[in-house]
Amino acid sequence: MPYSQVFLSVLPRGPGKVELKGTYRNRSSSQYQRDLGAALVNFCRIIPHGVLVFFPSYAALDSMITAWRAPGPRNRSVLDQ
């Protein structure tokens, strides 16, 4: 992959202004989970050909996917946005 196609950044807050601090304690917060998911959905909308996201463990990935599939406000999941 060419270096020109790589971008690395730290995102301090999500679109809902929730602090995106990926500590073990924060990972179980529904606000953190939804805002992280919303941020990723927003990036996927504007970045051509997709994104690559890393999680610290399969357990963390599974908990995020479960949270993103759950209905939220207006009975829509993060993945349905």
pTM score > 0.95 for this model?
no
* Residue 15 identity: P
pLDDT mean across residues, the chain: 90
Confidence label for 25 from pLDDT (cuts 50, 70 and 90): confident
The kind and range of the H/E element at 42 are: helix 30-46
Of 32, 30, 27, the closest CA to residue 17 belongs to 32
1 has a pLDDT exceeding 80:
no
CA distances from 77 to 6, 12, 25 (A): 29, 23, 22
pLDDT at position 12: 94
